[in-house]
Each structure stands twice: as structure tokens, then as C-alpha cells.
Chain A
């Protein structure tokens, strides 16, 4: 799988394979096709944002080394990557290939050993921890494999919590969150606890929480890993669709090629480098299309 022709990811639509630029650290163009990404096929919807060419996240020559010399492990070894608003990117690869490390470095959770991650022109690696934490709160959203909802809080409170942490008043955050929860099909479940929700509903709450602050980028780590296939598919469609409609870029780590196929772009990592990239020019299926498929 790691050598990827990505058999399971081949959608019914034709796709172009963009071979990765060798990750040698040369100041070449990044391994991604964002600037050349066709602007076609962008569905319109409430709040849809057209893709623009300036990437919201731009990584250059990323390297991440764990351990000392001799026993050092190169989790990232010269990664170049761009992602634009409203675009979706799946990061695939075998265990230990560096995909989760890449997600954490892009999100400013980890500082890279070398290289830069520009978010709207600011280098995340140069920011102190507290500033990066605030940036994650205000500009990024996160969806984890098991939701990581606080079990004592209601669904609504789980959604407003990050907003309140960011200084938004409870009243404002609640008004926003109710709209988001309804939009994601959670009407009548606002006051339920996570234990009173199904796995799919809880994950939709987690997606709402990630999107309620109108982030510029949503990071998802195996977001459907704990769900059955049907529920996982539905949750995935909601995630991709709502990110696209709200103009947020989606960066999703997955080991499942079918899950990755929901994203417009897929990069496959191997040994800390981007080995291959797939771009699906006309993918960004609507929910109906995805279900039919």
C-alpha cells in the first residue's frame, strides 16, 4: 500500500497522478498541485468560498527528527506541501511513515526540526507555544478518531467550549453552535451527553466543534476510524462537505484508501517523504453522489 497505486482510492472519475517532486530539499515547487488545481467542480452552497491560489498552509523542507544521532528517527525528511482554503487533502501511508507527525507539525502542535510552516504568511515554527495554542484555538479545528468529547458536557456545551476558551461570550457561542448543530442534522440533541449519542452522532458533534469557530484549516486524524462503514461514510461526507462549504481547508490523516478518496487530493507518505500525490480534478462529490457511490 505504501508504494501506492492506491487501488482502493481510484474513484470512478478520472484522476491525474502528479508525481511528487523529489523531496531533496531543493527549493523547487512543492509536491502539490494546488496552484494548478483546476477551479472547476467547486460546488456552490451556502457560504461556499471559491478556491483562491494563495495557500492557507504552506510547508517547505519540513524535517522532524526524534532521538539523538545514531538512534535518530527521521519522521519527516524534507516535505513540501501547500493547501488552499476549501480544498481537501488526505495524507496516507503505512504506520510510522510520518503522516501523524506531519499533521501535528502543520497544526503547530510540534515544532519541526527544520523547515517552515507558513499559515497566512506567518511561520508557525517561529511562534512561542502560547501563541501557537491560541492560533490553534482561533484558526484551526480538530477532529480526532474517538471524538474526544468531554463526557460531562452536553453536545451544545462541547461545541461552545473552544469558542468560550477563545473569549467569545456564552450567549454568542451558543447561538452560533445551535445553528451548526442543526445544520449537521443534530436537531433535538443539543442537550444530550456524549454517552447518550451514537458513535456517528458524537462524531458529528466533534465536527461541529471543529467548524464552529470558522477555522481556516480543519485537521482530522482517522476521523472515521472508530465507526462502522456506513456511519463512517456519512460522517466523512459531512466533514468534507461542510469544510468545503465553509471555506476551510481539510487535512486528513487516514490509512484507508476509501476514506482518502473523499478528498480532492491524496498524498502518500513513505519514510518521512511524500512519495506520490493524486489529484482528483472533479471530485468533491455532493453527499448524494457519495452515498450513491
Chain B
């Protein structure tokens, strides 16, 4: 083992800057977002009175705001940690050839696997430390945000010192664990890495389940569920939570069905290739926009509640400002997460497909046509995500309030947020475009 570890640096050679920087960027974003979100939620928790909540003043709204902060954290942290896991798998995928070489020169499967996991752990350690640096750098700016309450200080938004090493250790362990789990799914042989490739099939049950939830919610509301008092409120909250959570179940299915339909009828080659790639891995396509969809649903709720809200008391005004700022902040972070996740995975895909891009160009595909196929691949989930997010928010609120709120300014603001978030995701796809051109035109 020691001999193998000694030769590992030679075998796990760096393959060019970008390929190795990509997982580190993903780990950095994951660490920075996790630390910032946990720090923010902790700041709200620290302001919440521990004893009896007073009826008026800032302290009276803190329990509600804490619930919102915890909700936003529950939305963002799994995505951020998930990005760390994806980065680990990505890093491993980049090493497949090296791992096969190590097997060829005599390493056992276990030895090679250990070296691969250690490699991922080293990258995640570097990324986590950089991420904490980014967290420290961005916190003063966050302290200036207006939540309608007494502004947070930088000290409040930072975690206690001991939390940072714990966070780094946790992220490194998650990355290493994720790498180990991915390795279990592949067979490392001296002749290369074998992977089972299956044609994806998703069950229509996903859609049925979600539709049943919506229909159930509408029936419950029409039967006067609100009149049941606190039990009714709990049931409504559970229904809404289940519908919002169900978006992640139904999202991949809708992406898959749409991609299949588009692939069968696509009139242009770019759409054909983009739709087929999406149909081949609808979960990955949806993952790129899942965080942003959640955030848009929440932002939709908040925007529409704000149009209905009557801020007759200072406490209500505080809550309104806090939820609006918080909602936009959540949307912003979700958009950054989505952009990093999409940018990293799409750029890695370009690097993996370098020989095929070259072959396509040789066979007559123009660079612009190669670009358009990549845009089509992300444009489909982005379009579906905006429809699902807006539709869900509208449906739930219309059912709840009996009519759709109408405030043109709010609608414009919401639309701007939607467009901004998706522009960021599409821009992240374009980061890989110079590579597409370079690989396509590369001299042989």
C-alpha cells in the first residue's frame, strides 16, 4: 500500500488546469453556501427569545422569521451538500483512465479505490478551505441587507470558531463517502472502468402522486378545511409542503417525457441532440434547475402574499420586509448554486466529450451548431422549471385565497427574478463554450 501511495502522485497526474479546478470550484461553492446559510439561520435563532414571546416589538416576529430561516436552510443546505457529492463523483470520473492504469501496474481494486478516495478528499479539503474564505469575504455584505429588523452584525452572521473545522471535516467526509459509493458502482479493471449503461425509464406514478396531492389539497380547501382551526392549518401546511417537495419527484418525469417527445419530433439537429442527451439522464437535467425551482416557488408565494398583506402594524411591516429580503436572498443563493452546479457539470461534460466534439466537427458540424445543442439541453429544463414553479405557486395561492392576486408591479418584479435566475444558469453553460471551440478545432 505504501508503495502504491508513493507512486500515486505520479499516476494521478494533473490533467490540465481546468479539469482539476472544476471539482474544487464546486467544493468551494458548497462550503461557502453551507457556512453562510447556517450562519444566517443561527443569527435568527440567537435573536429569538427563549422564554415567552412578547406580543409586540421585534422580538414578537422573531419566532416566525426563525421558521422562515430554517425553511430556507432546509431548502438550500441539501442542495449545497449535494453539489459537494456531485463534485466528488465528477472528480472520480476524471480519473477513470488513471485508475485503470494503476490497476494495470499491479494495484488491487481496494488499493486503487483508496487512492481515488484520498484524491477526492484532498480536493474537497482545498475547496472547503477556499469556501470558508469566500464565506468570510461575503458576510460583511450580507450584514448590510435590510430584514426590517435591527441589522445583523458580522459577528452575528459568523459561526462560532469551532464550527468551521467541524464543517470542513463534515464536507470532506461527505465527499469521500460519495466517492466511495460511486466506486462501488463501477468495476475497476486494468482495461478500463466498466459501467452499466441502461436506457432510462421513469414511472408515470410520479405524476399521478403529485396530481393526487394537488387534487386532495383543492378538495380539502373547498370543503372548508380552513374552518377546522389549528388542525386544519397543520393539514394545509403539510399539503403545501408535500406539493412543493413533490416538485422534485415530478420534475425529472416531466423533463423525461418532454425530452422524449422533442427528440422524436425535433426539426433541428441541435434540438435533437440536446433533447436526446436530456432524455438519457433526465434526473441530471432536472438537478440543474431543482434548487432554482424551489426558490422560485417560495419567491412566488412571498411575492403574492406581499400583494395581499395589509401592513397596518410595525410588526407586520417587519415581517413583510424580512420575508421579501429573505425570499430574494434564498432565490439568489439558489441561483448561484444552480449556476455553479450546471457550469461545473456541463464544462466537465465538454472535457469528457472532446474526442466526439472533434469527430463531429470533422464530419461537418459547425462550432455554432455544437453550441446550440448544449443550449437546447439546458433550455428545456429551464423552461419547464419556470412553468412548474410559477404554476405551483399560482395554484396553491389561488386555491388558498380563492382568487389570483393581481399586482402588475409585483408580477414584473417576479418575472425579472425568474429571468435573472435562469439567465445565470444559461450563462454558466456558456462558460464551457470556448472549450467546445478549442476541442472542435484542435489540430490532430
- The reply to whether A137 and B276 form a contact with Cβ atoms under 8 Å apart is no
- The reply to whether A164 and B276 form a contact with Cβ atoms under 8 Å apart is no
What residues on B are CB-neighbors of A138 within 8 Å?
364
Give the residue among B276, B355, B362 with the most A Cβ atoms within 10 A: B362
Bound-state CA distance A141–B263 (Å) is 24
B206 at the interface (CB under 8 A from A): no
A133 at the interface (CB under 8 A from B): yes
Partner of B269, one of A109, A161, A209: A161
B403 at the interface (CB under 8 A from A): no
Encode B198-231 as 1/0 by CB contact (under 8 A) with A: 0100000000000000000000000000000000
CB distance from A272 to the nearest CB of B (A): 15
Tell me the chain A residues, 153-212 only, with Cβ under 8 Å from chain B. Answer: 153, 157, 161-162, 164-166, 169-170, 193, 195-196, 209
- The reply to whether A162 and B364 form a contact with Cβ atoms under 8 Å apart is yes
A-B pair count, CB < 8 Å, reads 73
- The reply to whether A104 and B273 form a contact with Cβ atoms under 8 Å apart is no
Bound-state CA distance A165–B443 (Å) is 22
What residues on A are CB-neighbors of B360 within 8 Å?
148, 150
Bound-state CA distance A151–B263 (Å) is 14
A136 at the interface (CB under 8 A from B): yes
CB distance from B287 to the nearest CB of A (A): 17
Partner of B362, one of A109, A130, A165, A170: A109
What residues on A are CB-neighbors of B441 within 8 Å?
129
Known: A150-B356, A165-B369, A169-B267. A157 touches B362 (CB 8 A): no
What number of B residues sit within 8 Å (CB to CB) of A?
27
CB distance from B191 to the nearest CB of A (A): 13
Bound-state CA distance A107–B362 (Å) is 9
Q: Tell me the interface secondary structure of chain A in the complex.
A: helix
Bound-state CA distance A114–B14 (Å) is 37
Partner of A110, one of B267, B359, B443: B443
CB distance from B250 to the nearest CB of A (A): 23
A120 at the interface (CB under 8 A from B): no
- The reply to whether B362 and A161 form a contact with Cβ atoms under 8 Å apart is no
- The reply to whether A137 and B364 form a contact with Cβ atoms under 8 Å apart is yes
B197 at the interface (CB under 8 A from A): yes
Known: A136-B364, A137-B364, A137-B365. A165 touches B269 (CB 8 A): yes
Tell me the chain B residues, 232-276 only, with Cβ under 8 Å from chain A. Answer: 263, 266-269, 272-273, 276
CB distance from A216 to the nearest CB of B (A): 13
- The reply to whether B364 and A148 form a contact with Cβ atoms under 8 Å apart is no
Known: A109-B444, A152-B277, A169-B267. A144 touches B359 (CB 8 A): yes
B279 at the interface (CB under 8 A from A): yes
Partner of B276, one of A129, A141, A150: A150
- The reply to whether A136 and B276 form a contact with Cβ atoms under 8 Å apart is no
Give the residue among B267, B269, B279, B359 with the most A Cβ atoms within 10 A: B269
A142 at the interface (CB under 8 A from B): yes
Q: How large is the interface on A (under 10, 10 to 19, 20 to 34, 35 or more residues)?
A: 20 to 34
- The reply to whether B364 and A164 form a contact with Cβ atoms under 8 Å apart is no
- The reply to whether A142 and B273 form a contact with Cβ atoms under 8 Å apart is no
Known: A133-B366, A137-B364. A161 touches B273 (CB 8 A): yes
What residues on B are CB-neighbors of A148 within 8 Å?
355-356, 359-360
Known: A110-B443, A170-B267, A195-B197. A142 touches B363 (CB 8 A): yes
Encode B402-444 as 1/0 by CB contact (under 8 A) with A: 0000000000000000000000000000000000000001011
CB distance from A67 to the nearest CB of B (A): 12
CB distance from B156 to the nearest CB of A (A): 49
Q: Nearest A residue to B198 by beta-carbon distance? A: A195
A100 at the interface (CB under 8 A from B): yes
Encode A119-143 as 1/0 by CB contact (under 8 A) with B: 0000000000110011011101110
What residues on A are CB-neighbors of B361 within 8 Å?
133
Partner of A130, one of B267, B268, B276, B366: B366
Q: Nearest B residue to A101 by beta-carbon distance? A: B444
What residues on B are CB-neighbors of A133 within 8 Å?
361, 364-366
Bound-state CA distance A193–B277 (Å) is 12
CB distance from B398 to the nearest CB of A (A): 39
- The reply to whether A157 and B363 form a contact with Cβ atoms under 8 Å apart is no
What residues on A are CB-neighbors of B356 within 8 Å?
148, 150
CB distance from B182 to the nearest CB of A (A): 19
- The reply to whether B276 and A165 form a contact with Cβ atoms under 8 Å apart is no
CB distance from B271 to the nearest CB of A (A): 10
Known: A109-B444, A152-B276. A164 touches B269 (CB 8 A): yes
Partner of B363, one of A137, A152, A164, A170: A137
Tell me the chain A residues, 72-108 only, with Cβ under 8 Å from chain B. Answer: 100-101, 104, 107
27 contacts between A and B (CB under 8 A): A109-B362, A110-B443, A110-B444, A133-B364, A133-B365, A137-B363, A137-B365, A138-B364, A142-B359, A142-B363, A144-B359, A148-B355, A148-B359, A150-B276, A150-B360, A152-B279, A152-B280, A153-B272, A153-B276, A157-B263, A157-B272, A162-B363, A164-B269, A164-B272, A165-B369, A170-B272, A196-B199
- Additional pairs, 6, CB under 8 Å, beyond known A101-B444, A142-B362: A104-B444, A129-B441, A133-B365, A161-B269, A169-B267, A196-B199
